Structure 1
Amino acid sequence: MSPTQRGFSLVELMVVSAVIVILGLVAIPSLVTTYPTYKLKKTSRDLCSNMRKARSMAIKLNRNITIEFNVANRTYSIDGGVPIQLESGIEYGHGSATIPSEPDEDLPADGVSFENNSVTFNSRGLVTPATNRGNVYLFNKKGSAFCIGVTTIVGTIALRQWTGSSWQ
């Protein structure tokens, strides 16, 4: 190419295209394997955040706020509001987890250990009734699992991930 001409030669364009294709071939398998876990983590964080929001709403509005989990429809709703759908590929259940996140409970068959598949926060942010502490387990097709739990009477909400042998 002469110094007065501008642009790229066909060889340069083909080399750059080949590099892009090779990088794509390396990256795609990694994305395919990590995307389901990313979706599960995102959905679990959203649920945890919404549970904390419901607790805050109960305090702010000075009244009870209930979260109801509909396992069959893969939804949950806050205070009877519009149902929030779990991401595609995410289900209620414990996946490959073999032990519950709390030593004093069993793994629930449907993935929700709260009585009547609901939890209520009162105007002080406490779980009511006080005995209705529990967990919601979510998993994906790969068996990865997360647990979102209200483990204390004061309404502390924790998010845990199954590591293959324990909840962290």
Structure 2
Amino acid sequence: MRPVPGIRDRLDGMKRTAGFTLVELAVLMVVLGIMIAIAVPSVQKTIDSYRLKTAAAEMATNIRLAGQESISRELEYRIEFNIAGNRYTVFQMVYGGDVEIECVEIRGQVSMTGTGFSSNQLTFGKQGRPSESGDITLTSDLGQVRRVSVDESGRVAIVD
């Protein structure tokens, strides 16, 4: 008696080709879609955080520079913070009037949301001392917050 040919015998005779089935490709696409959906918000938050850190670092550098320049040039420097315009301007205070040194517009989905300085101004005297202590609050579009803080001695720090 001869054995009845089974499915294995029939498959062995068929030509096999390398590749994926349509079902396997569909499953792969679903898995990739889920992974991307999970990763995108994390990437957006990282980019948002980087933009906020960069804006705070640039502002802190400009404030430090104004304090150092006031000492080296023996002139007063003033920084005006324009919250509505989302920018700040550095002035050198000379005898004939104020000279605008730099105007910095804060970009990259970061907003200046407040200052702790009266009249939104910070002035450095000829010895590099600030007129008052306070901080500037920067907020990203995703709600992350950083503060650039200036203490009584003129030390500038970025606070999370």
Please indicate the TM-score interval, normalised by the length of the shorter structure: 0.5 to 0.7
Flag the structure with higher helix content. Answer: 2
Residue 89 of structure 1, aligned match among 95, 109, 118: 109
C-alpha RMSD of the superposition: 2.0
Cα offset, 1:29, TM superposition: 4.8
Flag the structure with higher strand content. Answer: 2
Residue 112 of structure 1, aligned match among 115, 124, 142: 115
Contact conserved, 2:135 with 2:149, CA < 8 A, in 1? yes
Cα offset, 1:159, TM superposition: 1.0
Cα offset, 1:87, TM superposition: 1.6
Q: Deviations over 1:127-166 (max 9, x none)?
A: 12xxx211100001211111111122x21111101xxxxx
Cα offset, 1:83, TM superposition: 1.6
1:147 match: 147
Deviates more, 1:29-38 or 1:71-80: 29-38
2: distance between equivalents of 1:120 and 1:70? 15
Cα offset, 1:30, TM superposition: 3.5
Helix, strand or coil at the partner of 2:148: strand
Flag structure 2 segments of 5+ consecutive residues without an equivalent.
1-18, 20-31, 92-99
Helix, strand or coil at the partner of 1:83: strand
1:157 partnered with 2:156: yes
Q: Deviations over 1:100-148 (max 9, x none)?
A: xxxxxxxxxxx111011010111111012xxx21110000121111111
2: distance between equivalents of 1:28 and 1:144? 17
Helix, strand or coil at the partner of 1:158: strand
2: distance between equivalents of 1:92 and 1:47? 11
TM-score w.r.t. the length of structure 1 is 0.65
Flag structure 1 segments of 5+ consecutive residues without an equivalent.
1-10, 12-21, 94-110, 162-168
Residue 66 of structure 1, aligned match among 60, 70, 78: 78
Between Structure 1 and Structure 2, how many residues are aligned? 120
Q: Deviations over 1:69-110 (max 9, x none)?
A: 0111100011133420102311112xxxxxxxxxxxxxxxxx
Matches within 5 A, 1:33-44: 33-44=45-56
Give the % identical residues: 24
1: distance between equivalents of 2:59 and 2:144? 16
2:66 match: 54
Is the radius of gyration larger for structure 1 or structure 2?
2
